Amino acid sequence: MITTIINIGNSRGIRIPKPVLTESGLGGEVELQVKKGEIRIIPAPLKSTNVATTLMFSEKTLSVDWDRPEEEKAWASLQ
């Protein structure tokens, strides 16, 4: 299928006909891969929700956020 690169605001793009999207199964987020002379559109990798990583990140963030002198003062005034 031949199509034309068009102006879209300050960018350039192409219109992808609905039958092509339907046949490809693409929808939602996609990833663009660029190689010399070609652009590939593939499904975006699924974002994994690794609970262990999330918890570890939260603990690190909380320890930095909660270990401040002003936090100690605030808690002391509530006791």
What Rg do the C-alpha atoms of the chain give, in angstroms? Answer: 24
pLDDT at 60: 60
Inter-residue contact 46 to 28 (CB < 8 Å): no
From the first residue on, what is the mean pLDDT of each consecutive set of 10 residues in the chain (79 residues)? Answer: 91 92 90 92 79 60 66 73
Amino acid letter at 57?
A: F
CB atoms within 10 A of CB 43: 13
Instruction: Give me 28's structure tokens.
Output: 């939602």
DSSP, collapsed to helix, strand or coil, labels residue 78 as helix
List the end-to-end C-alpha distance of the chain, in Å, as a whole number: 72
